[in-house]
């Protein structure tokens, strides 16, 4: 009986530790996040990918550090600011710039080490 209880405790502990250390995926309805392979992006090491219909995809794996924030500015005004520090590094984050209209956009990423990564996109 003691052996059974010991095995049960070990199994439960291993399960709890495994769940605590696993990365969870979140479904943000603000823009759309894909973590299940629905978006096909070539593994070129690029962070930003401009897709069809003025959608920007951000590949979290291409960033060496943990991302904590995504911010989009149009004409100097912030149109989107999203905390992403709870997302895994396997995420492809999608921003639909078309919903903000024509113009020049700066998409800025902030890493956990406060490093800024930015790229400008023009929607005509």
Q: Give the span between the Cα atoms of 109 and 124, in whole angstroms.
A: 23
User: pTM of the entire structure?
Assistant: 0.63
Q: Are 37 and 25 in contact (CB under 8 A)?
A: no
Asked if the structure places residue 53 within a domain, the reply is yes
CATH at residue 31: 2.60.40.3080
DSSP SS3 for 11 = helix
Asked if the structure places residue 21 within a domain, the reply is no
Asked if the structure places residue 106 within a domain, the reply is yes
Asked if the structure places residue 15 within a domain, the reply is no
Angle, alpha carbons 24-29-30 (nearest 5°): 115
Asked if the structure places residue 2 within a domain, the reply is no
Encode the chain (124 residues) as per-residue pLDDT tens digits. Answer: 888 888 878 887 877 766 665 544 343 333 434 444 444 344 444 888 888 888 999 999 888 889 999 999 998 899 999 999 999 888 899 999 989 999 999 999 998 888 898 999 998 8
Range of the domain at 41: 26-123
Q: Are 30 and 100 in contact (CB under 8 A)?
A: no
Number of domains in the chain: 1
The neighbour count for residue 30, using CB atoms within 10 Å, is 10
């Amino acid at each position: 009986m003691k052996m059974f209880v010991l095995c049960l405790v070990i199994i439960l502990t291993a399960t709890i530790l495994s769940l605590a250390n696993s990365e969870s995926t979140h479904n943000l309805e603000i823009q759309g996040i894909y973590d299940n392979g629905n978006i096909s992006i070539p593994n070129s090491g690029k962070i930003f990918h401009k897709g069809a219909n003025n959608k920007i995809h951000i590949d979290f794996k291409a960033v060496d550090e943990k991302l904590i924030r995504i911010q989009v500015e149009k004409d100097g005004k912030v149109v989107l600011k999203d905390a992403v520090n709870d997302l895994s590094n396997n995420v492809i984050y999608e921003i639909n710039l078309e919903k903000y209209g024509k113009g020049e956009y700066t998409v800025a990423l902030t890493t956990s080490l406060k490093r800024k990564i930015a790229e400008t996109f023009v929607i005509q």
